[in-house]
Structure formats: structure tokens, C-alpha cells
């Protein structure tokens, strides 16, 4: 498949239409990134281009790597009225996402208190595989969470109303239908609200190391040397079960709707079918759970800062810059070949990057464009960017979501044997605490691409523009 790639821009490559592809494939990345992309991931880009109702192109961001059905970093949009919806185009961790919080703090405020703050965060935020939280919800309460998302959390005292303004979709998809979420999914999720989970999920205290755009950074309340907090997690077992349940439903529906697929992992159904409607209702419910989850974790992190530093919430200034989703399908309007279409935009390991003046943005970001948060690995850095008009023109207003793995978890564990990753990071000034030593090995920095190369490609392609770079100080891992 790689031999078919045609370079059509400094950071843009095309997989020409062939076979049953309805549209071309487009992959973003520098030559250095493209040379390491697996053929299997490129084949998945081409496979998605065969889906009924797909428009413009099947795309992949520079953090592309092999996934289930659609590659991680994949973006596809299908016609809302004539196209399909595919759980494989969203992923298992529905609304895995990230939020970035600014503060009034500097490094000096953390002197002599880093270890204590790390322990307080670890104590407040349940982590690890199968971790359960401090909230025990009845079935009725859990359905309220699935319907209301972050609004439920704020209503219950976990945060402030202004947090909702700075969350994608205000932390709630109104077309959620909790009745489409299975009993098994509810059972898996009932005790996991307010938990971080494991794998690449984290809570990270960072310092702003470099500012690229002082004016925009100032709009976000950031300056060099200030402290930030980043939270990355999703819908946990509930979202995974929703995806599992509906992959079965969709596979059974293929024959009914006479849909041919090159890969059954892309199992799908028309958006306007009963199966499509049911999945969208369940998917939105899981997305709402994820937004409530991150909202509650942020609230508990604020408590940890207040207790350790002895400052009021006003003095801490821990204000949400933005929260956006990575694995989701959204109903959006876009111009395609000069026509305004209503689309089902699938972003899997990709995020929105809406430009200035977009009506869905909070008023405070109408001039700057949407904040785009791109986490790196726990040993290097993360970036804050903003969306651009070109993203709207080329990628349905989409950007990448992170660094992207270059090692499987098995390979990473093998490479970490005989080493203490925690000690190596401590020597770099980064303190890590995890529920499992295995997770730290799986998530070692070398397991990921250098996120600066990914960001270079995104900015070079004109899809997002750099604002600031943050360096990790304290890391909580599952």
C-alpha cells in the first residue's frame, strides 16, 4: 500500500482511488513520519473510502497507527441522510478525550511540595485497570449521567457552570438515549464514574515551557513558567461495552442493507436506519458519561491542589481552557464541493480543530479559534494549538489527538525489562505514580512518536497553529 502513496503537498499524501474506493485516501505527515507508517494502517484508510455515503476523502492524521476498522488518527465523514455510521470509525473508548486547565501557579509555588501533591492527586483520583470510584450510582442516577453528561456533574457540585462553556458541546450530546445502553454496559460503568482507568490515560501537572503565540496564549491565561493540569481519559468500561454490543448489531445488519465491506471491523448501518439511530443514542450516552467523568476528576484534582498548597480556589485559578473528544461521531454541517451538507463526522484518535468565528465555539474563542490539545508521552512534552480555516476546508475541522504509538504494549514491556522507567523519569525531573508498574513500562516514552514531529506536520499542513508547549512535572498513570 505504501508504494501507492502520492505526495501532493509538503505534509500531505494521497492514496488514489482504486478498486471499490468511492473517494481517495489522504494522509498527513512529514516524510519522516510516513516512512514508519504500517501498511495495515494505510490499508484501513483505503478500506474506509469504500463506505456508503463517504464524502471528500478518507483521512488520517500524522499520529496514524493501526486500529480496529479505522486507523487511530482516522477521520471520515458520511452523508447524514444517505450514508452510514460505523462503531469501528469511533472506537471502543467512546469520547476518550483530554482537558487542559490553566492556573495562577508557577514552579516556585510547587517547591518542596511536588511529592505531596503527586500523592494527593493519586489518592483523590482512582486509577488502574477495573478501578472503581467513590461514587456509587443507582441505575436511575447512572441514566441521568448518560443523559446530562457534564451538566449532571456540575449540578451535583463537581465544578462550576463556566466549566461547561469551555467543554466541547458543553459536555453533553442532547440526542443521547440511555435506554439503548445495555444492562451489561450499565453494570460495567456504575462504579467507574470519576476514575482514570489505565493504558494511556493520565492526569499530569505540567509547566508551560515555551510560548509560540503570546497574544493567543494570553487569551487562554497562559505564560511561560505557569503551571497547567492535563487530564486524559474516557468512558471506561461502559463505552467499551457499548461499542462491543453495537458491532454485533451492525454486523448482523450488513446483509439487510446490502452493504459490502472489505473488512467486517467496519460493520455499519445507515445513519437513518433503526440500527444507526440506536447506536447514535447509545454512543452519545457513553460520550456524556466520559464528559462527566473528566469533569469529576478535574474537581477532585482542584481539591488536591487546594489541600496541599493551602490556597483558595480563586488564588489557585484552576480554570478549564478546553475539553475535547477524540473518539466520537458528530452531526455537523460542512461545505463539500461547494455544497453545504449535513454529515456524520467520525473522528477516531482525532479531534475537532474549528477555526475563528465558528458558531459552535465559546464566545471567548471566536477570535482565536478552538483550542486543540495534543498530549505527548510522559517523558517529553504536550502542545496547545488552535484550529484554522484550512482545517475546516480540508479535514472537516479536524486535527490529530496525540503522539501515536510506535511500539506495541508487548514490545514496550520487553524494551523496559531491567530498567526502572520511574527512576529514569525522576532523573529528568518528572515524578510518576501508577497503580501498576506494568502500565509505566507499556507507556514508556520510547513507545510513542516524538509528538513534536506530529505537531510539525499538523502545523506545516496548516490544520492547526502552535500556541504553547508544556513539559510534564507530575504524572498519574493507571
Residues in a beta bridge with 332: 343
- C-alpha to C-alpha distance for 226 and 119, rounded to whole angstroms: 21
Of 230, 252, 312, 231, the C-alpha closest to 87 is: 252
* Residue 288, C-alpha cell as written in the block: 456524556
* Residue 229, C-alpha cell as written in the block: 493540569
Q: How many CB atoms lie within 10 A of CB 301?
A: 22
- 3 state DSSP class of 236: helix
The single residue of 299, 324, 326, 401 carrying the catalytic annotation is: 401
Tell me phi and psi for residue 433, to 5 degrees: -135, 130
Decide: residue 424, CB within 10 A, 0-12 exposed, 13-18 middle, 19+ buried: middle
Residue bearing cell 467496519: 266
- C-alpha to C-alpha distance for 198 and 440, rounded to whole angstroms: 10
Cβ proximity of 150 and 292 under 8 Å: yes
- Distances in whole angstroms, Cα of residue 189 to Cα of each of 35, 86, 105, 133, 220: 40, 22, 35, 10, 34
Length of the chain: 478
Residue bearing cell 484550512: 390
Known active-site residue 401: yes
- 3 state DSSP class of 60: strand
- 3 state DSSP class of 76: strand
φ/ψ region of 312 (left if φ > 0, alpha if ψ in -120 to 50, else beta) reads beta
Of 290, 337, 253, 314, the C-alpha closest to 90 is: 290
First to last CA, the chain: 36
* Residue 298, C-alpha cell as written in the block: 478535574
Cβ proximity of 224 and 206 under 8 Å: no
Of 134, 141, 10, 26, the C-alpha closest to 75 is: 26
Which residues are designated catalytic? 401
Amino acid at each position: 500500500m505504501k508504494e501507492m502513496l502520492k505526495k501532493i503537498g509538503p505534509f500531505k499524501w494521497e492514496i488514489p482511488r482504486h478498486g471499490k474506493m468511492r473517494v481517495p485516501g489522504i494522509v498527513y505527515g512529514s516524510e519522516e513520519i510516513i516512512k514508519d507508517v504500517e501498511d495495515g494502517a494505510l490499508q484501513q484508510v483505503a478500506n474506509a473510502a469504500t463506505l456508503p455515503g463517504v464524502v471528500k476523502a478518507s483521512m488520517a492524521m500524522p499520529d496514524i497507527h493501526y486500529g480496529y476498522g479505522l486507523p487511530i488518527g482516522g477521520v471520515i465523514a458520511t452523508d447524514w441522510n444517505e450514508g452510514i455510521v460505523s462503531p469501528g470509525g469511533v472506537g471502543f473508548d467512546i469520547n476518550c478525550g483530554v482537558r487542559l486547565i490553566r492556573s495562577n501557579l508557577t514552579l516556585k509555588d510547587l517547591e518542596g511540595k511536588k511529592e505531596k501533591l503527586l500523592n494527593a492527586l493519586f489518592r483523590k483520583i482512582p486509577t488502574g485497570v477495573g478501578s472503581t470510584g467513590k461514587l456509587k450510582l443507582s441505575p436511575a442516577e447512572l441514566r441521568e449521567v448518560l443523559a446530562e453528561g457534564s451538566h449532571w456533574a456540575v449540578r451535583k457540585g463537581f465544578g462550576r457552570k463556566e466549566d461547561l462553556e469551555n467543554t466541547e458541546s458543553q459536555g453533553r450530546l442532547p440526542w443521547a438515549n440511555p435506554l439503548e445502553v445495555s444492562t451489561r454496559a450499565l453494570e460495567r460503568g456504575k462504579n467507574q464514574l470519576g476514575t482514570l482507568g489505565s493504558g494511556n490515560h493520565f492526569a499530569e501537572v505540567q509547566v508551560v515551557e515555551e510560548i509560540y503565540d503570546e497574544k493567543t496564549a494570553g487569551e487562554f491565561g497562559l505564560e511561560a513558567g505557569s503551571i497547567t493540569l492535563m487530564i486524559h481519559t474516557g468512558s471506561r468500561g461502559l463505552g467499551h461495552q457499548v461499542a462491543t454490543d453495537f458491532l454485533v448489531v451492525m454486523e448482523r445488519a450488513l446483509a439487510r442493507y446490502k452493504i459490502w465491506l472489505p473488512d467486517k471491523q467496519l460493520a455499519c448501518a445507515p445513519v437513518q436506519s433503526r440500527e444507526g439511530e440506536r447506536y447514535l443514542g447509545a454512543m452519545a450516552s457513553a460520550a456524556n458519561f466520559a464528559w462527566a467523568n473528566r469533569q469529576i476528576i478535574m474537581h477532585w484534582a482542584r481539591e488536591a491542589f487546594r489541600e496541599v498548597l493551602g490556597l483558595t480556589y480563586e488564588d489557585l485559578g484552576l480554570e478549564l481552557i478546553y475539553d475535547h473528544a477524540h473518539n466520537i461521531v458528530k452531526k455537523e454541517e460542512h461545505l463539500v464541493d461547494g455544497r453545504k451538507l449535513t454529515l456524520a463526522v467520525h473522528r477516531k484518535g482525532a479531534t475537532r480543530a474549528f477555526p475563528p468565528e465558528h458558531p459552535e465555539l465559546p464566545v471567548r474563542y471566536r477570535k482565536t479559534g478552538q483550542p486543540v490539545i495534543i498530549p505527548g508521552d510522559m517523558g517529553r512534552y504536550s502542545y496547545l494549538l488552535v484550529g484554522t480555516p484550512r482545517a475546516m476546508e480540508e479535514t472537516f475541522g479536524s486535527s490529530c489527538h496525540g503522539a501515536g504509538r510506535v511500539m506495541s504494549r508487548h514490545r514496550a514491556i520487553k524494551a523496559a525489562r531491567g530498567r526502572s522507567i520511574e527512576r529514569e523519569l525522576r532523573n529528568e525531573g518528572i515524578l510518576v505514580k501508577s497503580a501498576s508498574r506494568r502500565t509505566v513500562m507499556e507507556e514508556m516514552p520510547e513507545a510513542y512518536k516524538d509528538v513534536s514531529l506530529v505537531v510539525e506536520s499538523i502545523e506545516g499542513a496548516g490544520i492547526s497553529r502552535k500556541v504553547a508547549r508544556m513539559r510534564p512535572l507530575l504524572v498519574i498513570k493507571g
